[in-house]
Amino acid sequence: MFYSEKSLQRLPLPDAEVYYSPHFFDVEESNTYLQELLQTINWKQESIKLFGKLQPMPRLTAWYGDKGYTYSGLHNTPQPWLPVLQRLKEQVEEASEQAYNSVLLNLYRSGNDSMGWHADDEAELGQDPNIASVSLGGERKFGFRHKSNKAQKNIYITLQHGSLLLMQGPTQHAWQHNLPKTQRAVMPRINLTFRNIKG
Ligand SMILES: O=C(O)CCC(=O)C(=O)O
Ligand SMILES: [Fe+2]
């Protein structure tokens, strides 16, 4: 692969540090990772309490790494690293020049699966969280919404098969992000967010 294809471009979001590489993994490598993760990850259908009622999350999830973590009000006990996750982690660490000790995986089975607006700003992620997000499978739109500047329009990008997105610095303070549902017929998509849990 040529260096330029791997290279991360800074996206023009004010009050943020966001970098994107659309073809961080080539198609063959991405296909192999997608199949291996579909088969080896211990996917779970978790529920969250919404307005006092338990609701199934609109996606499957799995949590691997060294430390437990609270996410969407759920305490996640991590499962030990799998070789495939360690390989991905090493590549992402090298490109982002950051270390990660955990990964949350999301499986969006269809266009009906989604993730609502949120910021990954839990105290366990430290002051300025470093999050590295790998996308595999069906292309989906990913939104950014500024928390305080109402004049700032939402920004949408398409997360491609084999792409890498980094959110660093003040990003989680100033912005929320989401993965909206889509009516389009889309292939299943796996997302991995590598994080560094403190303490
Ligand atoms: O699926 C995605 O690209 C977003 C995942 C995400 O925001 C998260 O896991 O916190
Ligand atoms: Fe997130």
Evaluated on CA atoms 196, 41, 164, 89, the torsion sign reads positive
Task: Give the ligand at the shortest distance from the Cα of 189.
Answer: 1
The alpha carbon of 132 and the centre of ligand 2 are apart by a number of angstroms equal to: 10
Asked if residue 183 belongs to a domain, the reply is yes
Neighbours of ion ligand 2 (CB under 5 A): 120
Asked if residue 63 belongs to a domain, the reply is yes
Asked if residue 118 belongs to a domain, the reply is yes
Domain containing 29: what range? 22-195
Alpha-carbon distances, residue 146 vs 132, 166, 168, 174, 193 (angstroms)? 20, 17, 15, 6, 21
Count of H-run helices and E-run strands, the chain:
4, 15
**Of the candidates 114, 86, 79, 88, the residue with the CA atom closest to the CA atom of residue 32:** 88
Ligand 1 pocket: which residues have CB below 6 Å?
Answer: 104, 106, 115, 120, 133, 142, 159, 177, 179, 191, 193
Task: Give the ligand at the shortest distance from the Cα of 57.
Answer: 1
pLDDT in tens, 29-74: 999 999 999 999 999 999 988 889 999 999 999 999 987 777 666 6
**How many separate domains does the chain show?**
1
Asked if residue 45 belongs to a domain, the reply is yes
pLDDT in tens, 108-160: 999 999 999 999 999 999 999 999 999 999 999 999 999 999 999 999 999 99
Asked if residue 167 belongs to a domain, the reply is yes
Asked if residue 16 belongs to a domain, the reply is no
**ipTM associated with this complex:** 0.99
CB 44 within 8 A of CB 107: no
Asked if residue 3 belongs to a domain, the reply is no
CB 97 within 8 A of CB 148: no
The alpha carbon of 147 and the centre of ligand 2 are apart by a number of angstroms equal to: 14
Here the CATH number for the domain that contains residue 132 is 2.60.120.590
Asked if residue 9 belongs to a domain, the reply is no
